[in-house]
Structure 1
Amino acid sequence: MTIDLPNPIADYVASNARLDVDGMLRPFAADVVVHDLGIGKRFEGTAELRTLFEEEVVPVRAIFTPEAVRCEGGKVIVEGPAHGDFPGSPLRFTYRFTLRNEAITALEIMP
């Protein structure tokens, strides 16, 4: 099943499927704020986001596969499983993206 995602989100998802950290970072604004409720941490800016990807995503090969998308309250909500080498895989996640000028400016990740 193919889901029609806004370009920045589609670019992030495609890069995540390759575990390409530089590609995953490219769609994010330099001042992005990410709340990862699964690990209980907040990341500000792409340098901190790089740390999240390099320490929490790539080592366990966590790949998110969108199954549903909707717009709600100015946010793009994307739901689906993440598969990888981590306990309980696959786990379902909800990603709440905020976009501005073709960039991801905020992201909330909920397990």
Structure 2
Amino acid sequence: MNLPKVVADLVETQNSFDSVAYTHCFSETAVVFDEGKTHHGKKEIEQWIADSNERYRATMKPISFEENETESFLKAETSGNFPGSPIVLTYHFVITNDLIQSLKVTG
């Protein structure tokens, strides 16, 4: 599967639980929506993913990738320490200047 570099980097850093490298995939003003919460900017995103990595130890296995003029969509089998694992989640990206500006995770 041919993923944009920033999305491939995100998957790789998630699967190695590298919260700092994961955060480098985002712009300074990025926003993440996950589990009913919104995280603004790199500092909040790093805190969110570090906490998530500690609690869930989730890894991603890409299943499909689509994009249009404004958004990209990655479906991934996500496995970890949470009820119902593994599940398929959809990662909705807005990518600007090769960095993630927005990420929304849905079931």
Category of TM-score, reference length = shorter chain: over 0.9
TM-score (norm. length: structure 1): 0.90
Misfit runs of 4+, over 2 Å: none
Q: Could you list the runs of 5+ residues in structure 1 that have no partner in the other structure?
A: none
Equivalent residues, number: 107
| 1:46 aligned partner | 42
The one-letter code of the counterpart of 1:13 is: V
Once the 2 structures are TM-superposed, how far is the Cα of residue 80 of structure 1 from its aligned partner?
1.6
| 2:64 aligned partner | 68
| 1:78 aligned partner | 74
Residue 73 and residue 58 in structure 1: after superposition, are their counterparts in 2 closer, same or farther (change >3 A)? Answer: farther
Q: Could you list the runs of 5+ residues in structure 2 that have no partner in the other structure?
A: none
1:18, 1:32 → 2: CA distance? 22
1:90 paired with 2:81, answer: no
Once the 2 structures are TM-superposed, how far is the Cα of residue 30 of structure 1 from its aligned partner?
0.9
1:58 paired with 2:54, answer: yes
1:25, 1:87 → 2: CA distance? 26
2:54, 2:24 → 1: CA distance? 16
Deviations 1:79-100 (A, max 9, x none): 0211011111101100011111
| 2:101 aligned partner | 105
The one-letter code of the counterpart of 2:94 is: T
1:104, 1:14 → 2: CA distance? 15
Deviations 1:45-99 (A, max 9, x none): 0111112111123332111211100013511100021101111110110001111
Q: Taking every aligned residue pair, what percent have the same amino acid on both sides?
A: 27
Residue 4 and residue 44 in structure 1: after superposition, are their counterparts in 2 closer, same or farther (change >3 A)? Answer: same
